[in-house]
Amino acid sequence: MLKEAPGKAMVRKIAIDDLLLQYEIEQFYYSEAHLLDTRQYDAWFKLFTQDIRYWMPVRRTKTTKDLDREFTEPGQVALFDDDYKALNARVVRLSTGYAWAEDPPSRTRHLITNVTITPLENDQYEVFSNFHLYRTRLNSEEDNWIGHREDRLRRVEGGLMISKRSIFLEQTVLLARNLSSFF
């Protein structure tokens, strides 16, 4: 709600419920980052609904007039386009000892910022967040991925779960030797 203060610009009046929701969702993301950074992939996977779509399109350099085609569309080539079964297979593979790109495992830090929330119907939320994923592996591999995520969160049995995640990298060329990290 916008309210005009005498002699001041329009200011937004924030309700306590808005603050509590912001806190709850930010804490959800901080907990998710902790699970990933401590390699608790099974617990992380439980944050997703069975109808999850975990998608990362390819980014291309385009001129200003073609910016609407900067990212590939759903159904086109993507770096990730996982459903529940495919995402689970990636998580399970990490525990098999056959995920050579992650043996020895990477050390990661997920930094999440600029969380903005749009409430939807049926206890769902569209959430935009920026991320910085830092990864180091072996003695000299070091990778940084920066971008934003567009998530759909759904309240299930009182808790939040991720039913959709779209990941948009700032990079157009990936310099990493693999893309085995979760975002």
Contacts of 37 (CB under 8 A, 6+ apart): 108, 109, 110
Measure the CA–CA gap between 106 and 59, rounded to whole angstroms: 24
Spans of the chain, pLDDT less than 70: 1-12
Place of tokens 């009182």: 158
Q: Fold for domain 12-169?
A: Nuclear Transport Factor 2; Chain: A, (3.10.450)
Cis peptide before 57 (omega within 30 of 0): no
What does DSSP say about strands 54-57 and 159-169: parallel, antiparallel, or unpaired? parallel
Q: What residue spans define the domains of the chain?
A: 12-169
- pLDDT given for residue 8 in this prediction: 60
- pLDDT given for residue 2 in this prediction: 45
This model's pTM is above 0.85: yes
Q: What is the chain's length?
A: 183
Count Cα atoms within 13 angstroms, Cβ side, for 76: 10
Per residue in 75-102, pLDDT (tens digit) is 999 999 999 999 999 999 998 878 888 9
- pLDDT given for residue 14 in this prediction: 75
